[in-house]
C-alpha cells in the first residue's frame, strides 16, 4: 500500500477498494484486476485509488493480507481446540476447502500473484508461526523438541503445498479428501518409534 489512511473516511475508502478488488477477482478473474476497472467498480476516481495503491499488485497484496489474517485465525482456533496434529490438519483443511469453495477464483489468482505482489515475507512469517504452534502441539504428544520441530516443518510446508495445489485445481471436494489423506499420513509421521 502506498500510504495508510489517516481518517476513518480514508479507511472506509480503502476497505471499499479492496472489497471491490476481491469481487472483481472472484467474478471476472485475474485479467479484469486492473486499477482502472477496480476504481470504476468501487465508485472512486483513479486518483483516489492511486493514493493508496500504486498498481494492481498492491491491490493483490492487500487481498493477500486479508487472506493471511483469516488463515492465521483458523490455525490459532484449530490449535486452541484440537489435541493432535490430525485434528489440526483436518480442521484447517476443512476450513480451507470451504474458503476455496466460496471464492475459488480469488485463491487461484492469488497463487499466481504471490511473486508479483511481493508477499513472500508475510507468507513465510505466517508459516513460521504455524510451525511454532505445531511444534508445541507435537511436544505435548511427548515428541522430543528437535523431532517435533522437524515434523512441524514438514507438516506445515506440506500442507501449504497441498493448499496451493488445491487452489489451482478449483476442486473443493478433492481438497477435503486430500486434506483427510494428508492428516492420515501425518499420523505415521508423529507416531512414537
Give the tens place of pLDDT for each residue, 25-59. 999 988 999 999 999 999 999 999 999 999 999 99
Q: HEC profile for the chain?
A: CCCCCCCHHHHHHHHHHHHHHHHHHHHHCHHHCCHHHHHHHHCCCHHHHHHHCCCHHHHHHHHHHHHHHHHHHHHHHHHHHCCCHHHHHHHHHHHHHHHHHHCHHHHHHHHHHCCCCCCHHHHHHHHHHHHHHHHHHHHCCCCCHHHHHHHHHHHHHHHHHHHHHHHHHCCHHHHHHHHHHHHHHHHHHHCCC
pTM score, two decimals? Answer: 0.76
Any idea what the CATH number is for the domain that residue 85 is in? Answer: 1.10.357.10
Q: Is the pLDDT of residue 172 over 80?
A: no
- Boundaries of domain holding 29: 8-54
Among 41-50, 132-141, 179-188, which stretch is predicted with the lowest mean pLDDT?
Answer: 179-188
Flag whether 2 is in a domain. Answer: no
Mark whether 164 and 80 lie in a shared domain. yes
Mark whether 78 and 151 lie in a shared domain. yes
Mark whether 30 and 67 lie in a shared domain. no
Q: Is the pLDDT of residue 11 over 90?
A: yes
Flag whether 3 is in a domain. Answer: no
Amino acid at each position: 500500500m502506498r500510504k495508510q489512511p489517516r481518517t476513518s473516511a480514508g479507511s472506509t475508502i480503502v476497505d471499499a477498494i479492496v472489497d471491490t478488488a476481491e469481487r472483481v477477482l472472484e467474478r471476472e478473474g485475474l485479467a479484469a484486476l486492473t486499477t482502472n476497472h477496480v476504481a470504476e467498480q468501487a465508485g472512486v476516481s483513479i486518483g483516489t485509488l492511486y493514493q493508496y495503491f500504486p498498481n494492481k499488485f498492491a491491490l493483490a497484496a492487500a487481498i493477500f493480507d486479508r487472506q493471511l489474517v483469516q488463515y492465521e485465525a483458523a490455525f490459532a482456533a484449530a490449535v486452541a481446540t484440537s489435541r493432535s496434529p490430525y485434528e489440526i490438519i483436518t480442521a484447517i483443511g476443512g476450513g480451507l476447502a470451504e474458503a476455496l469453495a466460496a471464492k475459488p477464483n480469488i485463491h487461484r489468482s492469488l497463487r499466481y500473484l504471490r511473486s508479483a505482489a511481493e508477499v513472500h515475507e508475510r507468507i513465510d512469517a505466517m508459516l513460521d508461526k504455524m510451525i511454532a504452534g505445531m511444534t508445541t502441539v507435537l511436544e505435548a504428544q511427548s515428541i522430543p523438541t528437535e523431532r517435533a520441530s522437524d515434523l512441524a516443518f514438514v507438516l506445515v510446508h506440506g500442507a501449504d503445498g497441498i493448499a496451493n495445489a488445491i487452489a489451482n485445481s478449483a476442486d473443493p471436494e478433492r481438497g477435503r479428501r486430500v486434506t483427510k489423506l494428508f492428516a492420515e499420513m501425518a499420523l505415521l509421521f508423529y507416531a512414537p518409534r
